[in-house]
Structure 1
Amino acid sequence: MDLIASEGATRIERDLPRFSVAPTRPALQHLGLPSLKSSRSGIRRRANGEAPRVLLFVPPYTRLIEPVPLGSAFADIGIDTFEVMKRAGTPIGLLRIATVAKRAGYDMQIVDAPFAGWSQENTLVNVDQGHLVRYGLTDVQMRKIIEDAQPDVVGIQCNYTVQWGNARALADLVKSIDPNLLLVTGGAHSSGDWQNALLDSPFDFTLINEADRAFTLLLDAVTHEGGNVDAVPGIAYRSYSGQLVRPTRKSSYLSIVPARQDLDERLGVMPLPDFSFLNMNNYLQPYHSSGARVRKTGAWAQIFSTIGCNVNCNFCYIPKINGPWRALGLDWFDLHLADLVKQGVTEVLIEDDHLMHDPLYAMEVGKLLKKHHLPWVEEGGLSLFNLVLLHKGERFLAELDEQELKSPHYRNVIAAIRGGLTAKTFIRSIADNGCYNIYLAVESANEESLVNSNKSRFNAIQQATFEIIQMFTECGIQVTGGFMLGFVNPPASAAEQPFIESLGQIGNTIDYAVSLMGAGMAYANPFIVTPIPGTEMWAYQQQYVVRHYDNGWSHEKATMATEQWSAEDIEKARMELLVRANGADRVREMVRRGTWPVDV
């Protein structure tokens, strides 16, 4: 099949998707037809003076359950099955695009299927040695929602590659109800691998990268007679001749600069996410994705005070999909928090992609959270390298080379150091302002693994990391440390070999995690390096992939194998880190709860 990346671009030959879903899933009934380029019902509704109706879904989710490998640390402590955690979050992306579209006059509805049916679980299909368990609304429940809503356009989010099978299955359900319903997908997976997403599903359009502006422009094009979808930035679709078309590569990233834009202008670009779209009774659980809650009443929510990241770690999709780091402004965030409190939210998880890009700004964010009496968790991942830089201070700056001193990644931290800020002052500030739990992105003990992934070498300065965790612990903040195992990166030049992290280096990271527990770290959480659409490594790492479908893409399950290690080797290493660092009882509690056993 010919693919057209943009007008005038070279055609790319590809017969089948490189990635799909478990072959034991039911085959789709609606696949391969040209994309609908207009919503006839939406056009009719508009002609009758009504607002076109748009229904947005987070699809139901699945998680893998299978026997543990023989000889693994889990088997040694009597755990018979490996279970991927049951995880879902506030649909921030859908809230953003729905809010913009509502302001433009559309009748919007959001269905968060995992949380709306959180207690509903059933086996979906058998895969490999185990099976996928589905949680969330059933097909019968979603069919009734769709039939009652009578939408003109249906959007289905797919942020996670591991959930792609559920997004495409829901799309097939929508087309079975009415093949004339126009279908749109977006999110990290659909955006990062948009070609395969269109080849492998009934979706009419994919939204690529930030969709806040593009989604409403697409709705305008498909619900107006004679609308031109080819003028919409950040979309792709299937043509009548069987080609994939990405009509323009114009940027869809939002331009937000608080220093140059007043509050009204920024609210015009990024309105406050309208949480009234959600049933907040679905978010009352005693545990959230980072552990136990502080407030036992009211709802929790995941929110953001900045968007994007520009560190460009090659295993992370955020710089490409979410765009560069941008602050929304403290005045904007203040209004956002006031609205959340009105919606019944009593504590929050900050999901900023890079909150520590500007530590002084992050401290002001904490003060606003205290103002609104909202205890908080930093879940997006505090950058350890900036905390190390803060902690080591002026004397360490003198040791850096010119390239590091001029790096934009460190600019704000270096300015803060020269203004007198220390890591201890920063940590004490966020603790005083209600932070009770943070996710610390340690990643690896190996400087080589970090540098080959475009991650700062400072993460491997172990004594500084030990002392930083002690500071958090002394201030009453629980630290979940994040670790990554199994880095695979391309050679720096044609004459060199690829970088493949050895089992010995992986062992170093396991030892590092164990030692940091001695500093007071509350929990060590290991992830397995996984090819993710939208990352620099996605295409390169495909040659190492040994599971070509969705149950292998969870970060808890090994997707790749190399000449140095098998997928099972990496899975056993992950289990070893969990048991050695956290202890058998904590691991059993993790399995029982289905979330990190971090309590305040």
Structure 2
Amino acid sequence: MDLIASQDTVRIESCGPGFSVAPTRPLLSHLGQPSLLSSRTGIRRRANGEAPRVLLFVPPYTRLIEPTLDDSAFARIGIDTFEVMKRAGTPIGLLRIATVARRAGYEVQIVDAPFAGWSQESSLVKVDQGHLIRYGLTDAQMRKIIETAQPDIVGIQCNYTVQWGNARALAELVRNIDPNLVLVTGGAHSSGDWKNALLDSAFDFALINEADRAFTLLLDALTHEGTDINAVPGVAYRGSRGQLVRPSHKSSYLSIVPKRQDLDERLGLMPLPDFSFLNMNHYLQPYHSSGARVRKYGAWAQIFSTIGCNVNCNFCYIPKINGPWRALGLDWFDLHLADLVKQGVTEVLIEDDHLMHDPLYAMEVGRLLKKHDLPWVEEGGLSLFNLILLHLGERFIAQMDEKERKNPQYRNVIEAVKGGLTAREFIRSIAENGCYNIYLAVESANEDALVNSNKSRLNAIQHSTFELIEIFTEHGIQVTGGFMLGFVNPPAGPGQKPFVESLELIDRTIDYAVNLMGAGMAYANPFIVTPIPGTPMWEYQQQFVVRHYDNGWSHEKATMATDQWSAEAIEKARMELLVRANGADRVREMVRRGTWPVDA
């Protein structure tokens, strides 16, 4: 049932959240009550001439450990347990909203709990055949931080569905410490599954989609007398009877157009993320999420030069949550890099949602990184289809049909080709400017799997992929290839059957990964297709779900089963790809390190 923006807001009829509750977690005490619509302590601070206080958390994280499946590739090479890797990164989203809030006069603190307690691990709860390992700050440590900070509003990020249980547990802890603290959640998961997020937790508010502007508007509404919460874009909460209220379905994506806006205008919309919020000593590890660092000193950081994506793959939440593709401008990025160097950052991971949307812009990004002496990894995923289009050039473009040729996702690449740019020249440029590792979104050997997912058919031109990997390798750039297994898509039309990728088709992708390793690819990284809240596939794929949010909703475990394969069969296929493509020794090294075994 949709919500209406009026005083007669209807109640969502629901028997409770569908997937959120982990049955092994302790029951929550603070559920279903009306949301706090103002911060009494924040209003009081304003009356006393003080700045309201905001405390922002990345919650502690968990990862699943369970026995290796019998007769799997892992079992055959002597790995007895399957361990989901530690996955955490620079809290870019919190830095963005915190920077805007500070400029608006709020006293803001960020706590990155996973990194602040990275080496602290403990067994949390048993789930199914295994158990969850918690890493990050303990409850006692976070309680001390909260009691010392005395915030008026606490925000808790949840980007990853598999970490929802930890976000809701931290919200419960905050509510137990002080029932008058207003609790806000946001991020990719909380945006995509906001109904369950409010039904299944103590959070008062969920901010949906991009919240750079909306978060500060919500703070203003909470800390001023007589303001209208319903005027905040992208907000949802529980009404006086516990009903879900979402006053407006509009999202407040930032309108960033460098060609029409000068630097000051863009800095007003998107201030430089203020890394002074973070303790950079937490980011000194010799490994980051893409492998080994090249700099053995200083901190690493995940950063961005563009935001959003227009491709609209139906398994991806980015176009909805992060909005359309926008370049922030090279002048903006130049200032950003200068500030990072001042904060002690010595190398970076580019997390752009779609850096290759404009290859000429991407090359200028590389030149600025070299200017600031920052070696870099492209981790957001270079779009293979645009690289292939750049590689095949004008003759191939001339053979495309008119509709495909006019597809907006190809426009900038076609213009670059007309200007004489080749894939070899692009790769040479980013290599000379310090790129040492890229994540290449290969996805699948099967054109049907790609096309049924609204992914460009160009990804399936395999001979071009081989040639591109050879060019990257020739220029000293390590390529981590990303593969997806187990596509499940709805029927394309009435009377048609759904598309379920068969085990035979998945075997083709495994063979493809093995062959690409022979062409020089550094590492083959397979993901299992997973229903992600907020994606076009979410509603359809829910019917195939066999796990809850805590016990493996992570792309490393199978979340779905169909009449063609079990979850265990897909997990075995993923292990088979890892071992066959990378070899037993490198898989063991991956398990030992807890990250991809890629060394520059």
Do both proteins adopt the same fold according to a TM-score greater than 0.5, normalized to the shorter chain? yes
CA separation in 1, counterparts of 2:335 and 2:532? 34
Structure 1 distance, partners of 2:5, 2:497, is 33
Structure 1 partner of 2:163: 163
Cα distance in 2 between the residues matched to 1:406 and 1:251: 27
Structure 1 position 6, deviation (Å): 4.0
Q: Deviations over 1:2-46 (max 9, x none)?
A: 873544888653221111132111111211110000000000001
Residues 1:371 and 2:367 are matched in the alignment: no
**What residue is the counterpart of 1:138 in the other structure?**
138
- Provide the rounded CA distance (Å) in 2 between the counterparts of 1:455 and 1:306: 21
**How far apart are 1:550 and its partner, in Å?**
2.4
Residue of structure 2 in register with 1:304 after alignment: 304
How far apart are the structure 1 equivalents of 2:250 and 2:588? 50
- Provide the residue aligned with 2:317 in structure 1: 317
Q: How many residues align?
A: 599
Q: Is 2:529 the counterpart of 1:532?
A: no
Give secondary structure in 2 for the equivalent of 1:79: coil
Partner of residue 555, structure 2: 555
Could you list the per-position Cα deviations for residues 500-546 of structure 1 after superposition, in whole angstroms to 9, with x for gaps in the alignment?
A: 00001100000000000011000000000000011000111000001
CA distance in 1, matches of 2:591, 2:55: 35
Q: In the alignment, is the contact (CA less than 8 A) between 1:88 and 1:115 conserved in 2?
A: yes
1:433-464 CA-to-partner distances (Å, cap 9, x unmatched) read 00000000000000000000000111111110
Q: SS where residue 71 of structure 1 aligns?
A: coil
User: What is the identity, as a one-letter code, of the residue corresponding to 2:215?
Assistant: F
For 2:319, what is the secondary structure of its paired residue?
Answer: helix
Distance in structure 1 (CA, Å) of the matches to 2:372 and 2:53: 35
Q: Distance in 2 between matches of 1:3 and 1:167?
A: 26
CA shift, 1:68, in A, is 0.8
Q: Is the 8 A contact 1:298 1:346 kept in 2?
A: yes
Query: 1:552 Cα deviation (Å)?
Result: 2.4
Query: C-alpha separation between the residues in 1 aligned to 2:11 and 2:121?
Result: 44
Match of 2:481 in 1: 481
Amino acid at match of 2:297: T
Do the aligned partners of residues 149 and 3 (structure 1) sit closer, same or farther apart at CA in structure 2, a change above 3 Å counting? farther
1:238 aligns with 2:243: no
Deviation digits for residues 466-498 of structure 1 (CA, Å, limit 9, x no counterpart): 000000000000000000000000001121000
Match of 2:113 in 1: 113
Structure-2 residue corresponding to 1:337: 337
Kept in 2, the 8 Å contact 1:3–1:245? The answer is no
2:85 aligns with: 85
Match for 1:332: what amino acid? W
Pairwise CA distance, 1:241? 1.4
Q: Residues 129-159 of structure 1, C-alpha deviation per residue, up to 9 Å, x if partnerless?
A: 0000000000000000000000000000000
Contact 1:3 1:243 in 2 (8 A): no
Amino acid at match of 2:517: M
Match of 1:273 in 2: 273
1:422-461 paired onto structure 2 within 5 Å: 422-461=422-461
**Percent sequence identity over matched residues?**
84
Report the AA paired with residue 248 of structure 1. S
1:493 is matched with which residue? 493
Gaps of 5+ in 1: none
Partners of 1:182 and 1:488 in 2: CA distance: 39
In 2, the alpha carbon distance for the partners of 1:418 and 1:53 equals 53
CA deviation after TM superposition for structure 1 residue 267, in Å: 0.1
**C-alpha distance after superposition, 1:319-357 (max 9, x if no partner):** 000000000000000000000000000000000000000
For 1:512 and 1:113, locate their aligned partners in 2 and report how far apart those are by CA, in whole Å.
Answer: 39
- Structure 1 residue aligned with 2:3: 4
Q: 1:458 to 1:372 in 2, by over 3 A?
A: same
CA distance in 1, matches of 2:227, 2:2: 24
Secondary structure at 1:137's aligned position in 2?
A: coil
Does residue 257 of the first structure (1) align with residue 257 of the second (2)?
yes
Tell me how far apart the structure 2 counterparts of residues 258 and 5 of structure 1 sit (CA, whole Å): 36
Give 3-state SS (helix, strand or coil) of 1:319's partner.
helix
Q: Structure 2: which 5+ runs fail to align? A: none
Spell out, residue by residue over 1:93-145, the C-alpha distance to the aligned partner (whole angstroms, 9 max, x if none).
Answer: 00000000000000000000000000000000000000000000000000000
Matches within 5 A, 1:582-593: 582-593=582-593
* Equivalent pair of 2:444/2:460 in contact (CA under 8 Å): yes
- Whether contact under 8 Å (2:208, 2:251) holds in the other structure is no
1:122 is aligned to 122
| 2:150 is the counterpart of 1:150 | yes
Q: Whole-Å Cα distance in 2 between the matches of residues 480 and 133 of structure 1?
A: 27
Deviation by residue 1:52-85 (Cα, 9 ceiling, x = unmatched): 0000000000000000110000000000000000
Structure 1 match to 2:76: 76
Q: Does the CA-based 8 Å contact 1:3-1:11 persist in structure 2?
A: no
Whether 1:288 and 2:288 are equivalent positions in the alignment is yes
The CA deviation string for residues 251-302 of structure 1, in whole angstroms up to 9 with x for no partner, is: 3110000000000000000000000000000000000000000000000000
Please list, as runs of the form range in 1=range in 2, the aligned pairs for 1:205-224 lying within 5 A after superposition: 205-224=205-224
Amino acid at match of 1:4: L
Distance 1:210 1:94 in 2: 11
**3-state SS in 2 of match to 1:65:** strand
State the secondary structure of the residue aligned to 1:203.
coil
How far apart, CA to CA, are the structure 2 residues paired with 1:463 and 1:232? 50
Q: TM-score normalised to the size of structure 1? A: 0.99
Question: Following the alignment from structure 1 to structure 2, what is the Cα–Cα distance between the partners of residues 214 and 307?
Answer: 17
Runs of 4+ in 1 over 3 A off after TM superposition: 5-12
Deviations 1:228-263 (A, max 9, x none): 111100100000112100011233110000000000
Give the letter aligned to residue 212 of structure 1. D
Q: Distance in 1 between matches of 2:242 and 2:31?
A: 12
Structure-1 separation of matches of 2:256 and 2:113: 31
Determine if contact 2:191/2:207 at 8 Å carries over to the other structure: yes
C-alpha distance after superposition, 1:146-174 (max 9, x if no partner): 00000000000000000000000000000
Confirm whether residue 40 of structure 1 aligns to residue 40 of structure 2: yes
The Cα shift of 1:398 comes to 1.8
SS of equivalent to 1:225 = coil
Alignment check: 8 A CA contact 1:3 1:14 kept: no
Counterpart amino acid of 1:193?
D
Question: RMSD across aligned C-alpha pairs, in angstroms?
Answer: 1.0
Q: Secondary structure at the match of 2:297?
A: coil
1:312, 1:11 → 2: CA distance? 31
Q: Deviations over 1:537-584 (max 9, x none)?
A: 011100000113322210000000000000000000000000000000
Kindly indicate whether residue 465 of structure 2 is the aligned counterpart of residue 465 of structure 1: yes
Native 8 Å contact 1:100 1:271 kept in 2: yes
Aligned residue for 2:62, secondary structure, equals strand
Task: Compute the TM-score of the two structures, normalised by the length of structure 2.
Answer: 0.99
The reply to whether residue 49 of structure 1 matches residue 72 of structure 2 is: no
Q: What SS does the aligned partner of 1:463 have?
A: helix
Aligned partners of 1:527 and 1:556 also within 8 Å? yes
SS of equivalent to 1:219: helix
Question: Tell me, what secondary structure is at the counterpart of 1:62?
Answer: strand
